[in-house]
Structure 1
Amino acid sequence: MKGEAMLLPIEPQEAGVPVDAPAAKPAAPRPGLTDLFTRLRIKRVVFVDDMVEPVADAANVIDTLTRREDARQLLESLFPVAVLANDNEARFDQLTALLGDMDAAELEAVTTILSEFTEEEGARDILQLRRNIPEQVDLKILTPAEWHAQQQEIIEQCREDARTLFLFDQELNGDPQVLGFATGADIIKGLAQSEPVGFGTRWFCGMLSHTLNSGDEISSWRQLAEDNAIALKFFMPIAKQSLSDGDRFYGAVYRTLINTYCETMKTLAKDGLREALDAALKRFDDIDPLAFEHIIVNSSEEEGVSELETLLRLYAIVHKDEAKRVILREAEFLKFADAATGVKAVADISRELTAETQAHLNLLRAQELHDGPELVNGYNDPLRNGDVFEIGEGNDLGLFVLIAQPCDIMVRPGGKRVRENNFKVAVICPLTLDPAEVEAEPPHLKHFIPNFGDKGDVTAAVLFKRGTVVNLNVLDLTVLDKNGRCDITPAELKKEPKRFPTRAWEDRCAELAKHFGKVAGEIEDARKKHGDEVADLIAKATVPRVGLSNALKGHGSYVAGAFHYPIKRIGRIRDPGAASLLAAFGRFLSRDALEHDFAR
């Protein structure tokens, strides 16, 4: 059977004259779906549902006319007006005779109209499915009992050059004692156990569900797989809501078809990575303790790098090598290549993404390009080029990024930096998400940061011209706090120093307590000698400033031995993005300064 859609009405003929059923003219399925099925050689769609279509008989035609007067015009395109008239006492017999003389295509046209006006939701789902499936693809609608009777024959007809897309309703209400299954998941599970090699080669499986909202398929997919003990690669849920939206239905079918290939690649990769992990850990264990101490402790301390960072770097070297060795073994590589080639055949057709998928991609890309606050602050990670800060409060709250040559901001043994007080060491530049601000700034005065924000769906711009030299003594305070806040109470820090995995930063913590403690001492001495008013003036003048710009001048306060800055470290731009930012800032500093054109 072929997909149909609403028939266009024609002028009714004279009473008593039979009317030939016009060729059905469905709303054209999405062109991509036709291409998709053609490329993958899908010749048939089989839908198994416990809801059946209306039977094309006289009783259903009369019932539809009785309930829905608006169906009359469409039915008049298939039957004489006089036959359908309400006062026609022979209507039932005449309709029965006319229906008996119709061929399969004409009967299908009648069924399509009856489905359009039925009160049964399941029948409307079937109608929507008919409209979505391309005409050249055979659509077979089966009840659970019919599937049970015909399953073996249908499976035998599936070939690599004539594939089938199976769509099973989630709830079939079948009797497992009689049919051997109760749900669509049971059927898919049975196929996966009996003929797993058929998935992706001779057929594909989707599970239609009325309990899912369109767009929630992925979030429910793993739970359905777990609840029914089915591997993810064997099926993909499809919300029945998507049947009424051609684009969403295309996206759901597209995801179903690529799923087997993608899950195969993921499974091969996971198996390889597990094996590689064991091999990598073996190589890790075999490292000479003296070499390990030199790499992790000695070299890190000399260069001012976190020991944890060096440890992860060392592990990445051995794990990446072992992963390549495992996955590139001929047998595994050929399986991976087959799956990649299979999904490429589909992906070549269309790469349009749903909003949900695009959001997932944005978030994943953001995780690749940026470190979140928990990965930066949670480990008291030292300041780095590319660290992002919130500075200010209320309407004055703004985003800033630290730009610095990495070697210059590394804390060395003794808790100090090389050229600590050199003004060239570090700057902070504002980050803007405002399109108007971005547009107003010339290209050479800004740098774009893609996939920014919590969802990774915005592009930020760094405004170099508004940058200012920053006081690293102040920004260092964010390293001391696991929430990235910029606060210090020197007296408490001296009593109970913070623990760091890096000895250099333990020394740095003591240096910061000493530096801010000295300022606090001057303020409190003034308070003892001259009172609160003078002490407040001294505090305003001596509290270390965040940076040199007027915009940052007022930030920072001192109250009862504690310093507070409205600053919070909220993340980091990872390399190579951070290195690209530094290079762009270098180009900004080295831009040509030409003599002004006095002839203009």
Structure 2
Amino acid sequence: MVDGNILDKAKAAIPELLSVSNISKVISIDDYYSSGPVVDDVVAAQRVIPLRVLSDIAPDFENVSEDSQIRAMRFRQYYEGLDVEKAESLGKAVVQAAHEINGQEPNDSMYLSTLHELFSEDILTTLSPSEWDRQADTLLGSGIRGKVLLLFDQDLANAGARYDEGIAYISSMLSGEYSSKVVCGLLTHTVTEEGQQQAWEEFATKYGLNKDKFIVIAKRWLDPNPLGFTNMLKLLTISPFFTSMKAKVKEILEAATSTAADEINKISVVDFDHIIFKVPQQEGMWEPDMLFRLHSLFHRSEARKLAYEDPELVEMANTLRKVSHLPEDSDLLPLSNAWEIQRREIFEQGGYINRLHLPIELGDIFEVTAGGGAVRQYILLAQPCDLAIRSSGVRSPEQDRFPLVKIAKANGELDQYSAPLQYFTTSPDDNYAVKLKYPQYVRSTILDLCSFTKTGEASIDIGSMAPEGMIPSLEKRYSIVSNNLKKEVNKYSVLWPNDADNGNRKNIKSEIFKKIGPLLLQGDLFKANFALGENMSLTFNCKRIARLNRKHAYALLMSFAACLGRAALDRDFGHPTNQ
């Protein structure tokens, strides 16, 4: 049953939605309107309705007895004496009241009753499919002002049509002579609230329909919470404006792109050499990234300038703002891709940063595979300048270890030693946090190895050439790391079996190497694995999988610094120990 306050909020929103869309008429086409309930159903339904309620529904019905059998007989005589139109209307009202009293699932009677509550009588017209077929041309003729919202039921089987006739009606209307005058909704019980968006996409594709001109709405929105219906109507209202706004923004962005390219062309060769090559080389940056930074600077300022000066865009924003405040129930909103889009802004995935051999940075996320296949993730929280690889291939100052801080699922409220890590997974239901109190200080060499491979795995063939495609500073870093590792592992060369060893000695040394070798260079978190071949291969169970963007990573770094620098006061002895 619809809550009165919710119904009032939904009713208040309708006129503004219709006004913004220039809709002057709403027509509901449903097989429910083809015929009223049968007499026996109406007489049976009135039995469960208290007399005072029945008197409100049928004020001219004169009940002469409290006996239920006599009342039923009298009501049948009264009902059968009504004209067809009044009997149909009364029968539906009686059946709906009985359903509400019995607490049964909502049905078409209850859904469409709410529809009548939402739209005023001068706006809403209800028709059976056959009535629509006869009257469509008249209703949509030249005398109509504004647009008409057509709400078709999908399953029209009770009117002798197919169960999927509703979308066929919509397809016909949107491709016919009245297409410019109508917007359509498929108001149906054949889809759920959760499934309506997928059905909308599928119908648009299958029938080649413009999504700006129709929408799929689950009837269940109408009872018990019509705000869901109002919100779907809002989507239909703003969709054409949104499409126009996207087209306008695309036009502005293309113009801004051209202007930004012109500004890049104006840069002198002296400035180009300084900004694009010399500065990145000193800071260990990839030169095209600096070029993109300049382009973004010019593009952003020009795009904003063009946007503020465009009257069409301003008018569209003003129009959409009029309906943006309309009430909606967040629990009943349709599925959205907003979570994933926001996640793409916050996290760069490993495929991109590893393929370009980008050096490790603040916010890099590493994965360690533990025994039994369990996976743990850690985030690098170190000062960016300390991480930067200079043009010589070294850091200033060189640091042997950097802090990796554990990422874990957050259960309940976070304590003072944890910071939320939102959008870490693709599911909005997952909650993760960074455990600031428990850093692991990992050898910088292990982390650097992740930037040497296109997969992000910490691996190197000691003594081999640096992979192609690295920026010069990282290429020099590769040589430094490779040489240092070579010196370190050579300390244990006595363990390597060689060709001079006899068969038994060689087997013994191989077994010793297999057992002891992996222990020699492993870090606190990561285990090492040696493999002997033309070169010595060294691999750690560490992989760079993503990068948190700079703003969010800085926020975590500040939280981490605050956690490390928290006050350590003397133990309070003024309270009982159990407090």
TM class by shorter chain equals 0.7 to 0.9
Match of 1:455 among 405, 424, 427: 427
Structure 1 segment 104-503 matched on structure 2, within 5 A: 104=86, 107-112=88-93, 125=108, 128-134=111-117, 137-138=120-121, 139-144=124-129, 146-147=131-132, 149-151=135-137, 153=139, 165-169=149-153, 183-190=169-176, 193-195=179-181, 205-208=184-187, 212-222=191-201, 224-225=203-204, 228=207, 230-240=209-219, 242=221, 246=225, 248-344=228-324, 347-350=325-328, 352-354=330-332, 356-357=334-335, 360-393=337-370, 394=372, 397-421=375-399, 426-435=402-411, 439=414, 441=415, 443=416, 445-490=417-462, 494=464, 497-503=466-472
Distance in 2 separating the partners of 1:589 and 1:73: 70
8 Å contact kept, 1:235–1:259: no
8 Å contact kept, 2:14–2:118: no
1:8 is matched with none
Distance in 2 separating the partners of 1:469 and 1:83: 88
Distance in 1 separating the partners of 2:175 and 2:322: 23
Give 1:293 shift: 3.8
Give 1:409 shift: 0.8
8 Å contact kept, 2:378–2:405: yes
Distance in 1 separating the partners of 2:343 and 2:93: 47
SS of equivalent to 1:500: coil
8 Å contact kept, 1:402–1:429: yes
Distance in 2 separating the partners of 1:213 and 1:97: 38
1:230-283 Cα distance to aligned partner (Å, 9 max, x none): 543333222456556636545433433443444443333233223333333343
Give 1:415 shift: 2.5
1:99 is matched with 82
2:474 is matched with 505
SS of equivalent to 2:117: coil
Alpha-carbon distance change, 107 to 409 in structure 1, aligned in 2, over 3 angstroms: same
- The amino acid across from 2:304 in the alignment is K
How many residues align structurally?
528
Structure 1 segment 72-83 matched on structure 2, within 5 A: none
SS of equivalent to 1:466: strand
Give 1:589 shift: 3.2
> Identity of aligned pairs, percent?
22
- The amino acid across from 1:562 in the alignment is S
Give 1:456 shift: 4.5
- The amino acid across from 2:359 in the alignment is P
Is the deviation greater in 460-469 or in 512-521? 512-521
Is the deviation greater in 318-327 or in 138-147? 138-147
Question: TM-score, normalized by length of structure 1?
Answer: 0.74
Match of 1:36 among 13, 18, 41: 13
Give 1:404 shift: 0.9
Distance in 2 separating the partners of 1:192 and 1:234: 12
Give 1:473 shift: 0.9
Give 1:408 shift: 1.2
Structure 1 segment 526-537 matched on structure 2, within 5 A: 526-528=495-497, 531-532=509-510, 534-536=512-514
- The amino acid across from 1:578 in the alignment is A
SS of equivalent to 2:314: helix
Structure 1 segment 50-89 matched on structure 2, within 5 A: 51-56=31-36, 60-62=38-40, 64=41
Give 1:576 shift: 1.0
Alpha-carbon distance change, 242 to 379 in structure 1, aligned in 2, over 3 angstroms: farther
8 Å contact kept, 1:383–1:476: yes
SS of equivalent to 1:452: coil
8 Å contact kept, 2:522–2:540: no
Distance in 1 separating the partners of 2:142 and 2:322: 22
Q: Which runs of 5+ in 1 are unaligned?
A: 6-25, 176-180
Distance in 2 separating the partners of 1:239 and 1:431: 40
SS of equivalent to 2:405: strand
Distance in 2 separating the partners of 1:457 and 1:314: 38
8 Å contact kept, 2:33–2:127: no
Give 1:449 shift: 2.1
1:417-474 Cα distance to aligned partner (Å, 9 max, x none): 2222355xx31111221326x64x4x2x332222322224444222222113221210
Distance in 1 separating the partners of 2:194 and 2:78: 44
Alpha-carbon distance change, 40 to 253 in structure 1, aligned in 2, over 3 angstroms: closer
8 Å contact kept, 1:301–1:412: yes
Alpha-carbon distance change, 258 to 544 in structure 1, aligned in 2, over 3 angstroms: same
Cα RMSD after superposing both structures? 4.2
8 Å contact kept, 2:173–2:179: no
Give 1:401 shift: 0.9
8 Å contact kept, 1:427–1:467: yes
Q: Which runs of 5+ in 2 are unaligned?
A: 100-105, 162-166, 499-504
Alpha-carbon distance change, 75 to 348 in structure 1, aligned in 2, over 3 angstroms: closer
1:22 is matched with none
8 Å contact kept, 2:13–2:230: no
Give 1:402 shift: 0.4
Is the deviation greater in 215-224 or in 299-308? 215-224
Alpha-carbon distance change, 70 to 348 in structure 1, aligned in 2, over 3 angstroms: closer
- The amino acid across from 2:543 in the alignment is K
Give 1:190 shift: 4.6
